[in-house]
Amino acid sequence: MTRVAIDSVAARAEAPVRAYLACARLAWIDDVDAFAARFAADHAALRAAAESGLPFRRGVVRALLAAARDARKATGACTGCDCTQPCETPLDPQAFEAFERAWAAGVVAAAAARTRDAAETAGEADAWDIFRKTALEGHETSALARERGITTAEARARATRMAEPFDRALRDALREEGIASEDIDDELAWLMEAATR
């Protein structure tokens, strides 16, 4: 992953890292926000995550656990081990669930921002707004149609025009994370499932 690609996903990593740390409640990390910000700015850790052979988000968790282990070692709180084993900071299933939900939300938000920007540039801001409200926020199409003074069929048609650009933006966001083309469909399925948990 190039430095430019790491920069584009680094901002996406901070909120999931914060969600993991807040849920895991690692006693030796007293300032979760500061730790998460430092971690998300650590390009070496993010590059290692990208080159780990795992999906990027899983590589980020692995790097996060290593950073948490190193933070614990720095406090002198180790209990007789050499602090080189990942078991010193085991994966917390609830915290990992919080991380995955936050990661999915970040990918969806990045794709939504790209789609919105493209729609506004193309003069399709209303179509984007209808798509966002119906597909992403769960509003009723008929209610939105009434508000705008258009038919329900027209509202659906406008929203449908945005479905393909949004799907492309999601796929692009996943490719930026180093997801192989053959794995994109599986990642999209995970993404939609995680985003609705």
Q: Could you give phi then psi for residue 140, rounded to 5 degrees?
A: -75, 130
Of 135, 78, 85, 92, whose CA–CA distance to 111 is shortest? 135
Residue 34 has pLDDT above 60, yes or no: yes
Confidence of residue 148 (pLDDT cuts 50, 70, 90): very high
User: Are 40 and 11 in contact, with CB atoms under 8 Å apart?
Assistant: yes
Residue 157 has pLDDT above 50, yes or no: yes
Confidence of residue 104 (pLDDT cuts 50, 70, 90): very high
Q: Which pLDDT score, from 0 to 100, does residue 87 have? A: 42
Instruction: State the chain's mean pLDDT as an integer.
Output: 85
pTM: 0.80
Confidence of residue 180 (pLDDT cuts 50, 70, 90): confident
Higher-pLDDT residue of 23, 27: 23
Confidence of residue 134 (pLDDT cuts 50, 70, 90): very high
Residue 156 has pLDDT above 90, yes or no: yes
Residue 16 has pLDDT above 50, yes or no: yes
Q: Which pLDDT score, from 0 to 100, does residue 120 have? A: 97
Of 50, 71, 79, 73, whose CA–CA distance to 62 is shortest? 50
Torsion, Cα 98 103 104 110, to 10 degrees, reads 150
Q: Cα separation of 5 and 10, whole Å? A: 8
Q: Which pLDDT score, from 0 to 100, does residue 21 have? A: 87
Q: Which pLDDT score, from 0 to 100, does residue 86 have? A: 46
Looking at residues 125-151, what average pLDDT do you find? 95
Apex CA 18: angle with CA 24 and CA 95, to 5°? 30
Residue 151 has pLDDT above 60, yes or no: yes
